[in-house]
Amino acid sequence: MTGTQDSDRDGTGFCGAPVSVPGVNDWFVNEVLPLEGALMQFLRHTWRNPADIEDLCQDIYVRAYESASREIPKSARAFVFAIARNLLIDRIRSAQIVPIDSVSDLETLNIPTSQPAVERSVMARQELRRLQAALDRMPPRCREAVVLKKIEGLSIQEVAARMGISPKTVDRHLSDGACFLADFVYGGEDGDKR
């Protein structure tokens, strides 16, 4: 192939994502997102109000990403959990009213800083299981759209025709499906969430 040797700089595979520090997007996807299951578990155990959990998680990601945009830390795990802890402390301090049991034992909290090494093949299998679980638990119409699009390989228009709905509605089903998949792939198999 010809003539674009000089434009071959997008190695991230995530098109449309302007990169501040080289590799920060990759770092976030490969190192931080896989911690989501453990992070969510930590937040659920630590924070009383379940309605806040997703927002807390998102805020932790933002802090981690911003900080990593200046310098990528050595241990993603220690880094992310330190951010989580600080964020929770900030939230408690800035809150007008703090329920006495909002945080049980933050100061002494046992933050999981290491995890057993998992073989790649095991992780791949786990991922496949989670994907399967996500597909199984999707609302039927949403699942139908995802299967027709991703597994049957139909175009949006074909999916719309097959399901007897508008392409816009197909988009909405697929977007919902993508959110669903992200929750399962990264958050682990927590069917109680939705």
Partner 1 sequence: MSLRDHHATDAQSLRARAAAFVIARREHADWSEENQRELDSWLARSPSHMVAYLRVDSAWAKAEKLSAIRPPKIDFLRERVLPLFLRIAAVMAVVGVVGAGAMVYLARPHDRLYSTPVGGRETVTFADGSRIELNTNTIIRARMTTDQRIVWLEKGEAYFHVKHDRMHPFMVFAGDRRVTDLGTEFVMRRDAASLKVAVVQGRVWFDASDKQASAQSALLTPGDVATTNGTRLTVSRRPLKDVATELSWQRGVLVFRRTTLAGAVAEINRYNVNQLVIDDAEVAKLRIGGTFRATNPELFAHAAETMLGLRVESRGNEIVLSR
- Give me the residues that bind partner 1 (CB under 8 A), please: 1-8, 10-18, 25, 28-29, 33, 54-55, 57-59, 61-62, 64-66, 69, 120-121, 127-128, 131, 134, 146, 149-151, 153, 155-156, 168, 171, 174-176, 178-179, 181-182, 185-186
The whole-angstrom separation of Cα 172 and Cα 128 is 24
Report the residue number, 77 or 149, with the smaller CB distance to partner 1: 149
CB of 110 to partner 1, least distance (A): 26
Residue with Cβ nearer partner 1 (95 or 178)? 178
- For partner 1, which is the closer residue by CB, 5 or 108? 5
Least separation in angstroms between residue 161's CB and partner 1 is: 15
The H-assigned helical ranges of the chain are 24-27, 36-46, 53-70, 76-94, 120-137, 140-146, 156-163, 167-187
CB of 39 to partner 1, least distance (A): 12
Q: Rank residues 77 and 180 by Cβ distance to partner 1 and give the closer one.
A: 180
The token pair at 41 is 């578990």
Nearest residue to 78 via CA among 28, 112, 106: 112
Instruction: Say what angle helices 53-70 and 76-94 make with each other, to 10 degrees.
Output: 120
Helices (H), 3-98: 24-27, 36-46, 53-70, 76-94
